[in-house]
Amino acid sequence: MLPEHRRKRIGERMLQRLFEVAEVMGGQWLTLEVRVSNLPAQRLYEKYGFRRAGVRRRYYSDNNEDALIMWTEKIRDRAVQDRLAELRKALGE
């Protein structure tokens, strides 16, 4: 993301929408890969309940950086839904 667009919670809103779409489509979990060096993204994902589940060695071809594999709990679980509702409210949505 370009520097002028950072810290505007755009990524967080996109993540909220991803949970909504996944639920409508019948998804049970979400998973993603994130650069091991991208600590701000990792913190955001952890805030939304993603947990580290593994590493993909040399995943990124531009510099052979490893990727963390992250998964959520079941997105329909009450605890996940409650967390999403709280985070949505904090975003003012």
Catalytically annotated residues: 33, 45
Chain CA centroid to CA 42, Å: 8
Distance from C-alpha of 4 to C-alpha of 1, rounded to nearest angstrom: 8
Distance from C-alpha of 29 to C-alpha of 72, rounded to nearest angstrom: 6
Alpha-helical regions (H) of 1-93: 10-24, 39-47, 78-91
